C-alpha cells in the first residue's frame, strides 16, 4: 500500500496519543523504554481503574454500597483486568466504554449507551458483539432507535478511517494482516467450539475460573438475581458474558497467543463481577470463608501476572503458567514489568513489593467482611 497503518482497530493508538505524546516530549525523542512507555501504560491502567469504578456504579443500582465496594475491589485486584493494565492491549482500553454502555443502558439512556459502544468498536471490533444483549434489553422501539443512532454516530469513525486508508469502508486492517477476508473466516472452527469453551473456563492454561476463582461466584450471583425477580438484568449480564466467550470459542486461535490467562475474555469480566455484589449481600457464615479464600487466591494469581509478566511460554492445556512460569520469575527477582525496573520506581526489593501488594489487596477485604459479619450479628442478637 505504500504506507503504514495499525494492524488492529485504530482506537487504542488514537485515544492514547496524548499520553504517548507527553512521554515523547519528556524523553525528547521516541524510545520504547522511556517516559513514553510509562505514560502509555498509565493510560491503560486508567482505563482499568475507570472500569472498576463503573463496576461499583452498576452494582449500586441494585445492591448496598458496602457490597458494591467489595465487588469493585474484587474486580480490580482479583480479575485479569489488573495484569492487563500493565501492558498495552486493546481489551483494557475498550472495557470501560463497554461497561459504561451497560451502565447507561440500565439507566435508560440508550443514546449515550450507543455512542459509548461505538467508541468501543473503534478500539476493538469484537466489542460490537455486546450490542446484541444491550439491544435485547431495550424493550421500546424508541430506545432501540436511539441506541442505534448513537452507535452509528460514533462507530462511523471506524468506517471513515477504513475508507480513508483502504478506499472501502468495510475493509478492515485485519484483512491485510491475516491475509484477506476469506482467510479470516477460515479461522472460525465451529467443530472445536465446545472444547475451546471448556478450555477457556476450566483448563490450567487458559481457564478463567483457575486464574480467577472469585469470578465463578458471579454465576451464583446471577442465579440469586433470578430468585430475587431481577430476571431481565440477570439475563442481560449473563448474555453479555456468553456472547463474548462463545465468539472466541469458535475462533481458531482461542488461546490468545502467549499471554496471561484468557485475555480474550477481559472485556466481558465486568458482566460476571457485577452480580458478585448480590452474593456478598447474601453472604452467610458458611459461604463467607469460601469467598474470602477464593478472593485471596485470585489476588495472588493476578499479582503474579501484574508484577512479573503478562506474556508467557507456550504450553499445553495443562500448563499452569502462574506457578510454572511467573512464580519462577518472582523467586529469581526478574520483574519484566517495565515500571518495576524503571528509574521512576522506588526500587524496593521485589519480594517485599509483592508482599505489600498482597497485604493491601488480599487481607483488607478479610477485615472488611469480618466487620460486616460482626455488625450483622450485633443487629440480629437479642438485647
Predicted confidence (pLDDT) per residue in 360-369, tens digit: 666 666 665 5
**pLDDT range class, residue 164, cuts 50, 70, 90:** confident
**176-189 per-position pLDDT tens digit:** 766 555 566 667 88
> Quick one: how far is CA 87 from the chain centroid?
13
Q: What is the DSSP string of 297-337?
A: HHHHHHHHHHHT-SB-----TT--HIIIIIHHHHHTT---S
- Say whether pTM exceeds 0.75: yes
Residue 315: CA atoms inside 13 Å, Cβ hemisphere, count? 19
Radius of gyration, CA atoms only, the chain:
21
The C-alpha atoms of residue 324 and residue 311 are separated, in whole angstroms, by 13
More confident residue, 229 or 364: 229
Query: How high does pLDDT run on average in the chain?
Result: 85
- Residue 142 grid coordinates: 424508541
**263-290 per-position pLDDT tens digit:** 999 999 999 999 999 998 887 667 888 8
Amino acid at each position: 500500500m505504500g504506507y503504514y497503518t495499525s494492524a488492529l482497530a485504530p482506537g487504542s493508538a488514537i485515544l492514547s496519543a496524548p499520553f504517548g505524546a507527553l512521554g515523547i516530549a519528556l524523553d525528547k525523542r521516541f524510545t520504547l523504554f522511556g517516559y513514553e512507555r510509562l505514560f502509555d501504560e498509565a493510560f491503560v491502567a486508567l482505563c482499568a481503574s475507570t472500569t472498576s469504578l463503573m463496576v461499583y456504579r452498576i452494582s449500586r443500582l441494585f445492591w448496598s454500597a458496602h457490597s458494591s465496594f467489595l465487588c469493585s475491589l474484587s474486580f480490580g485486584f482479583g480479575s485479569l483486568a489488573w495484569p492487563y493494565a500493565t501492558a498495552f492491549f486493546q481489551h483494557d482500553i475498550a472495557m470501560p466504554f463497554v461497561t459504561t454502555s451497560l451502565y447507561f443502558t440500565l439507566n435508560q439512556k440508550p443514546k449515550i449507551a450507543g455512542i459509548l459502544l461505538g467508541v468501543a468498536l473503534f478500539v476493538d471490533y469484537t466489542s460490537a458483539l455486546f450490542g446484541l444483549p444491550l439491544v435485547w434489553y431495550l424493550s421500546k422501539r424508541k430506545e432501540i432507535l436511539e441506541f442505534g443512532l448513537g452507535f452509528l454516530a460514533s462507530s462511523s469513525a471506524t468506517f471513515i478511517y477504513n475508507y480513508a486508508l483502504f478506499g472501502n469502508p468495510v475493509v478492515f486492517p485485519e484483512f491485510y494482516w491475516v491475509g484477506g477476508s476469506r482467510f479470516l473466516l477460515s479461522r472460525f472452527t465451529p467443530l472445536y467450539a465446545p472444547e475451546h469453551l471448556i478450555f477457556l473456563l476450566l483448563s490450567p492454561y487458559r481457564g478463567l475460573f483457575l486464574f480467577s476463582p472469585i469470578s465463578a461466584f458471579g454465576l451464583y450471583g446471577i442465579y440469586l438475581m433470578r430468585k430475587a425477580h431481577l430476571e431481565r438484568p440477570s439475563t442481560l449480564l449473563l448474555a453479555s458474558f456468553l456472547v463474548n466467550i462463545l465468539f472466541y470459542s469458535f475462533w481458531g486461535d482461542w488461546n490468545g497467543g502467549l499471554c496471561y490467562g484468557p485475555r480474550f475474555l477481559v472485556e466481558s469480566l465486568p458482566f460476571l463481577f457485577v452480580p458478585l455484589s448480590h452474593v456478598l449481600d447474601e453472604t452467610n457464615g458458611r459461604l463467607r470463608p469460601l469467598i474470602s479464600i477464593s478472593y485471596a487466591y485470585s489476588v495472588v494469581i493476578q499479582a503474579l501476572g501484574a508484577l512479573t509478566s503478562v506474556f508467557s511460554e507456550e504450553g499445553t492445556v495443562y500448563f499452569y503458567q502462574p506457578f510454572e512460569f511467573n512464580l519462577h520469575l518472582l523467586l529469581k527477582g526478574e520483574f519484566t514489568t517495565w515500571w518495576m525496573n524503571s528509574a521512576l520506581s522506588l526500587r524496593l526489593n521485589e519480594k517485599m513489593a509483592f508482599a505489600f501488594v498482597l497485604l493491601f489487596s488480599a487481607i483488607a477485604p478479610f477485615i472488611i467482611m469480618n466487620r460486616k459479619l460482626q455488625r450483622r450479628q450485633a443487629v440480629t442478637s437479642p438485647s
